[in-house]
Structure 1
Amino acid sequence: MNILILANHFNPGGISSYILNLAQGLAVKGHQVYVGSAGGEWVERLKKNNIEHINLPLKTKSIISPKLLFSYFILKKELRDKRLDIIHSQTRVTSVLAYWLSRKTTVPFISTAHGFFKPRWVRLRFPCWGDSVIAISEAVKEHLIADFKVAPDKIRLVHNGIDVKSSQKPVTSNQKEIKEKFGLKEGPVVGIIARLSEVKGHIYLIQAMKKVIAQIPEVQLLSVGDGTIKKELENLARGLGILERVRFVPAVADTREALSVMDVFVMPSLQEGLGLSIMEAMLSGLAVIASSVGGIPSLIKDGHTGILVEPKDAEALAKAIISLLRDNKKASELGKNARELIVKEFSLERMVQETEEVYRLCLR
């Protein structure tokens, strides 16, 4: 198949990771894959894997932007010249673009719902869902049915997958060297890898760390990711008197080094489709503490593959973090079970195969 995957941009993030993994997996199976976006830091990663990138003027969040019209004409020609069989959109903007392309060319299109959406009247009036809609978790599937009245037989549940065969060891195994790179000192490290956005719940983690540090003074927090609320989070940590124990570092293309120096991984999200960084932490064998929201319970079985807490509960987060830092045996057991779950049920091979099946159904 000749497949076009669309996204607004290709900068570091969950959707870009999903596209890169999917494109690589499909290419290995003999498909010709193209990625269309406004470009970004990770385009070079596509090129290294011999996946062609189509530059589109899609730096917009508006579905009525003229940029969609320009992109439409670029892609209409590409659909013809490259004899594309499937369009696969990843965002609201690209779904609207794919909808009109599909209507005018009869090339079927699929959309992936990576999370939860506000049921605004525009989206309800002009849904622009694909011929099939991939939901990345059962919670997202239920959301599409309940809030957007998407027909259940139109939705296909395909969990995100990650490359479980790739080495989870960092480039260097020197823990001291990696810690110095991230500005960390000696002592246990609590970590989070997520964009700095209110929905990720960093505020509650920082509040929890105040309580954790009171019990375990040498503990540090490593936050990996970029975002709009960095200054707010720094001010919060400063106000709580723990800024010197918190390190904010930019998003990284390869998370293995960051994960390798963490003792506990925390994801206190207020909303989460599934959680790629949670999956990466689980694959690395880390004990994970996460909010019981969205698709996270698909990954975290409380007390078996991690610990679940209620969202916005800094007290519960602190209690869970302290318990794992003080009980290495329990943390190790949770990490072992977590890794086994990812390898068994959330492999990249499985995701690629199930996505490929959705494509074939649309082509019948």
Structure 2
Amino acid sequence: MKALKVLHSESSRGWGGQEVRTLKEMLALRERGHIVELVCPRDAGIGVRSAELGFNVHHARMRGVGDVRSMMSVQALLRGRAFDVLNTHSGHDSLVAGTAARLVGTPLVVRTRHLALPISSLATYNWIPHRVIAVSQYVRRYLISAGVSADRVETIYDGIVKPEYIAQSTLRAELGLGPDAVICCMVAIMRDKKGHEDLIAAAQPLLAGRPNLHIVMAGNGERFDTIKNVVDGLGLGRRIHLLGFRADIPNVLRGCDLFVLPTHQEALGQAYIEAMAAGLPVIGTDVDGVPELIKHNLNGLLVPPKSPDELRAALVQLIDNPEQRTRLGEAGRRITEGRFSIDDMADETIDFYRRSLCRREYHA
């Protein structure tokens, strides 16, 4: 079957779950023989990483619908490279690159919706793209409720690469902690609404009475210094360990006993999937797409968002019950073995592209 030529566009300069998913998808499609390229601002995090991995990366500012220069640049790129698919990912690139693709007649324009936030432009879902990918059923339902036609939107869950077996994590040695330490891990970019302060507030009283309890936070971001000031101000720098950005998340998870992400909003939550795949019990918040991953008391615990007291109770439940941690962790691992693989995501995406192209040809 003919290989597809796919151009991804991303106007965001940051590096978070959205960009991680897009790059994983690009890698998986390239491994299957498809031609995959990227257009993004010159300083975009996904562009830097994509170039390091050998992708053709093109540059355009894509600052909004009035950025005519970028639109003309993307038009020339789409026309010259004859892509089958343009897949946009953020608001500005959906307006600029998406409009460019419609003007030059790119066969299929797709918008992927990664976020559990109110949409700012219905046109970037109903008029510019031919089809829309939602990363969870929650996101799909929200888009439909906001006015996006149901037949335009399909859910494709995030997938992760099956973690390599790690016989012995280096995390405890790095932190100077022994096997008797109980380590609770949070992996998330440090930005608003991820719940870092909620975890600190929930854990503070527990740390006073449990000398073997430690909290690990992996991730950087715009609020890193703020979180560090909170931790240092409470005198908890030796108990709450801020690791910053880590490229070895499987190694970090393998060294921990449980995972918690008390996010205030989350379209789905890649970090939960990675923790489940590592065999950790997970504590999440009952918001947005998270309940599609975590079933309460089956593979983890769900608590309300912004509720340090209820989060503390869930922490105590798992900290004091190693048997429950084992049961929930094993259930989570089984769930990820049967679903949420990078192969599932890649195969479903390719099938979605091909079906959408056929439908476009049929209705042409």
**Structure 2 partner of 1:37:** 40
| Rounded Cα–Cα distance in structure 2 between residues aligned with 1:240 and 1:65 | 48
Cα distance in 2 for partners of 1:101, 1:126 equals: 13
The alignment partner of 1:198 has SS state of: coil
In structure 1, distance between residues paired with 2:316 and 2:206: 6
Structure 1 residue identity aligned to 2:113: A
TM-aligned CA deviation for residue 237 of structure 1: 3.0
Normalised by the length of structure 2, the TM-score is 0.89
Question: In the alignment, which of 27, 52, 58 is matched to residue 56 of structure 2?
Answer: 52
Corresponding residue of 1:111: 111
Paired residues of 1:188 and 1:220 also in contact (CA < 8 A): yes
- C-alpha distance 129-255 of structure 1, shift in aligned 2 (>3 A): farther
Shift of 1:160: 0.8
Q: Aligned with 1:221: secondary structure?
A: strand
Say whether residues 1:144 and 2:143 are aligned partners. yes
Structure 1, gaps ≥5 residues long: none
Q: Are the counterparts in 2 of residues 10 and 16 from structure 1 also a CA contact under 8 Å?
A: no
Shift of 1:193: 0.8
Distance 1:151 1:86 in 2: 20
Q: Give, in angstroms, the shift of residue 287 of structure 1.
A: 0.9
Q: CA deviation at 1:144?
A: 0.8
CA distance in 2, matches of 1:259, 1:338: 14
What is the aligned partner in structure 1 of residue 158 from structure 2? 160
- Aligned counterpart in structure 2 of residue 280 of structure 1, from 274, 279, 295: 274
Structure 1 residue 72: deviation in Å? 2.0
In the alignment, residue 22 of structure 1 is paired with which amino acid? Answer: E
Kindly tell me: are residues 184 and 332 of structure 1, through their superposed partners in 2, closer, same or farther at Cα, counting changes over 3 Å? same
| 1:81 CA displacement | 2.2
Q: How many residues align?
A: 350
- 1:345 maps to 339
Decide whether the 8 Å contact of 2:40 with 2:60 is kept in 1: yes
CA spacing shift, 1:168–1:194, aligned 2, 3 Å: farther
1:255-294 correspondence to structure 2 within 5 Å? 255-294=249-288
Could you say which residue in structure 2 is the equivalent of 1:91?
A: 90
1:78 to 2:77 alignment: yes
CA distance in 1, matches of 2:256, 2:66: 43
Query: Within 1, Cα distance between the matches of 2:40 and 2:165?
Result: 29
* Residue 13 (structure 1) aligned with residue 16 (structure 2): yes
2:111–2:133 CA contact under 8 A, matched in 1: yes
The offset of 1:71, in angstroms, is: 2.7
Cα distance, 1:79 vs structure 2: 1.3
Equivalent AA in structure 2 for residue 152 of structure 1:
A
Does the residue aligned with 1:199 lie in a helix, a strand or coil? coil
Amino acid at match of 2:152: K
**Unaligned 5+ residue runs, structure 2?**
359-364
Are the equivalent residues in 1 in contact too, given 2:285–2:303 (CA < 8 A)? yes
Question: What is aligned with 1:179?
Answer: 172
One-letter code aligned to 2:111 = S
Query: For residue 321 of structure 2, what is the aligned residue in structure 1?
Result: 327
CA deviation digits over 1:249-270, x for unaligned, max 9?
2222331122122211101011
Conserved? CA contact 2:190–2:223, under 8 Å: yes
Counterpart secondary structure, 2:238: helix
Distance 2:254 2:176 in 1: 13
Tell me which amino acid in the other structure corresponds to 2:139. V
Identity percentage of aligned residues: 25
Q: Greater shift after overlay, 225-234 or 29-38?
A: 225-234
Judged with a 3 Å threshold, the aligned counterparts in structure 2 of structure 1 residues 144 and 129 are, in CA distance, closer, same or farther, namely farther
The CA deviation at 1:242 is 2.9
> Matches of 1:84 and 1:206 in 2, distance apart?
48
Which shifted more, 315-324 or 183-192? 183-192
Correspondence 1:250 to 2:244: yes
The Cα RMSD (Å) is: 2.2
Distance 1:326 1:200, change over 3 A: same
Residue deviations 1:284-339 (CA, integer Å, cap 9, x gap): 11111000111111110111111111111111111111221221121111111111
